[in-house]
């Protein structure tokens, strides 16, 4: 709890100051092995949702594991083909079934271009990332904003948005719908970010859902009051 609050507080300070992200040495961020890590290359981190073994916990529109896995594999091929980037797949710790993506990448000879991160906490692993790609607005969505990351959200059409939430998300990050030529759109977005320096503003969404002025001490004081 303390580490997470400290991480977010530091991220808020950097966000207020308009700081740019500088990738850290991956060896200092996580104990997991990495391949092809190069601090001179931009790093893209894909954050996946969990595979649930076809279990369902609520009335949402998420697809079955096989369909989602095929999407992940197509995303892997798209990122590898997009340019000379370090690519990290951060797998969800919440999974009801194993994710076969690592074996699939090896079979396709893509494992030398993509690092798989399973157990390292997101708040530590994300420090390596310049761009965060995600396809479901989980808790790491807001955390990525608070850490001042450039975010690309792939809208698979499997998640029902509230209208005001969708508007705030689109005002804050890049949203790419996957019912069309999303691979080309994602490639173009990444090239634009790294070649021309893309900017995003999270102010409207963060102010709607968070209290950015809070620090850990202020939070505990509020709870005490």
Give me the residue label for tokens 């991956």.
Answer: 26
Q: Of the candidates 22, 21, 25, which has an alpha carbon nearest to the alpha carbon of residue 38? A: 25
Greatest CA span in the chain, whole angstroms?
57
Note the pLDDT tens digit of each residue in 90-146.
987 766 556 778 888 989 898 889 999 888 888 888 988 999 999 877 788 888 887
Cross-strand partners of 117 = 90
Q: Of the candidates 125, 75, 55, 68, which has an alpha carbon nearest to the alpha carbon of residue 99? A: 68
- What's the number of domains the chain is made of? 1
**How many residues are recorded in the chain?**
225
Residue 68: give the domain boundaries: 2-224
pLDDT of residue 98: 64
CATH code of the domain covering residue 142? 3.40.50.2000
Note the pLDDT tens digit of each residue in 40-89.
789 999 998 776 655 554 445 556 777 888 889 999 999 999 999 999 99
Please state, as a whole number, how many other Cβ atoms lie within 10 Å of the Cβ of residue 175. Answer: 15
| pLDDT at residue 15 greater than cutoff 50 | no
Q: Which one has a higher pLDDT value, 193 or 12?
A: 193
Residue 141 to residue 219: CA distance in whole angstroms:
21
- pTM to 2 decimal places: 0.71
């Amino acid at each position: 709890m303390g580490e997470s609050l400290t991480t977010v507080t530091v991220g808020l300070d950097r966000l207020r100051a308009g700081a740019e992200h500088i990738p850290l040495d991956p060896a200092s961020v996580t104990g997991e092995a990495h391949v092809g890590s190069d601090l001179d290359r931009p790093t893209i981190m894909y954050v996946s949702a969990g595979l649930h073994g076809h279990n369902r916990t609520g009335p949402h529109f998420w697809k079955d594991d096989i369909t989602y896995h095929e999407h992940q594999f197509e995303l892997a091929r798209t990122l590898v083909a997009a340019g000379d980037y370090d690519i990290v797949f951060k797998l969800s710790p919440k999974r009801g079934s194993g994710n076969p993506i690592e074996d699939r990448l090896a079979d396709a000879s893509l494992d030398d271009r993509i690092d798989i991160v399973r157990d390292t906490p997101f708040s530590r692993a994300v420090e390596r990332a310049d761009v965060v790609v995600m396809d479901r607005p989980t808790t790491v969505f807001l955390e990525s904003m608070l850490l001042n990351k450039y975010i690309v959200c792939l809208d698979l059409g499997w998640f029902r948005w509230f209208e005001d939430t969708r508007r705030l998300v689109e005002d804050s990050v890049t949203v790419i719908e996957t019912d069309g030529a999303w691979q080309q759109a994602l490639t173009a977005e990444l090239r634009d970010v790294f070649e021309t320096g893309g900017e995003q503003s999270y102010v409207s969404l963060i102010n709607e859902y968070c209290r950015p002025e809070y620090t850990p001490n202020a939070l505990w004081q509020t709870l005490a009051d």
